[in-house]
């Protein structure tokens, strides 16, 4: 569901709205979640230069900010989980790409991590589906994408391990 002009104004009138909608990427009229995941790759290009511990610190801070921004967006829009809120996609995508912080960063792996996150975010295997249905507010908006990102990171790490083993 796309936002009307009044809803966009209400969302973007607060700095949290800009954060929540991924600095505008969530306002895409087509597949805002995918647009948010793509936009998340831009700051990730800098984040990937961090070692894994500071990387996790940034992700944790982004999660906390995302909970706050999502709560503000939910209150302003009066929608439980607005489609325009994609800060959760940013954090989920960064979690999905965690294996690339400590391993080779070739573009096929980046594309694979992106695709895996989108698959798990849309598919919502348990307990992602449970969190999506049961956990409300900004924390709930963020939690299911964190879980989908974790699934994607695990599959990506396993795939990278299999490819590395077969190359030896």
Question: 134 falls in which pLDDT band (50, 70, 90)?
Answer: very high
Domain count, the chain: 1
Across the range 52-77, mean pLDDT stands at 97
pLDDT at 168 over 80: no
Q: Is the dihedral of CA 33, 30, 47, 162 positive or negative?
A: positive
pLDDT at 72 over 80: yes
The answer to whether the CB of 113 falls within 8 A of the CB of 57 is: no
- According to the model, what pLDDT value does residue 2 have? 83
Separation between Cα atoms, residue 107 and residue 105, nearest integer Å:
6
What is the domain range of residue 11? Answer: 5-167
**pTM passes above 0.75:** yes
Report the chain's mean pLDDT, rounded to a whole number: 95
Residue 163, C-beta contacts closer than 8 angstroms, at least 6 positions apart: none
pLDDT at 111 over 80: yes
Q: 40-54, 96-110, 111-125: lowest mean pLDDT where?
A: 96-110
- Write down the residue that tokens 């190359």 correspond to: 167
CA distances from 77 to 3, 5, 64, 73 (A): 9, 12, 20, 6
């Amino acid at each position: 569901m796309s936002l009307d002009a009044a809803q966009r104004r209400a969302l973007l009138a607060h700095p949290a709205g800009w954060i929540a909608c991924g600095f505008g990427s969530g306002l895409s009229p087509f597949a805002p979640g995918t647009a948010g995941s793509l936009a998340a790759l831009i700051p990730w290009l800098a984040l990937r230069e961090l070692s894994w511990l500071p990387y996790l610190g940034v992700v944790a801070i982004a999660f906390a900010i995302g909970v706050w921004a999502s709560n503000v967006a939910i209150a302003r829009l009066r929608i439980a989980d607005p489609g325009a809120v994609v800060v959760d996609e940013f954090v989920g995508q960064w979690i999905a790409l965690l294996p690339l912080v400590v391993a080779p960063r070739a573009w096929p792996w980046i594309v694979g991590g992106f695709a895996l996150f989108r698959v798990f975010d849309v598919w919502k295997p348990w307990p992602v589906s449970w969190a999506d249905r049961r956990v409300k507010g900004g924390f709930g908006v963020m939690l299911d994408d964190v879980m989908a990102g974790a699934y994607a990171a695990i599959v990506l790490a396993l795939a990278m391990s299999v490819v590395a083993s077969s190359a030896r």
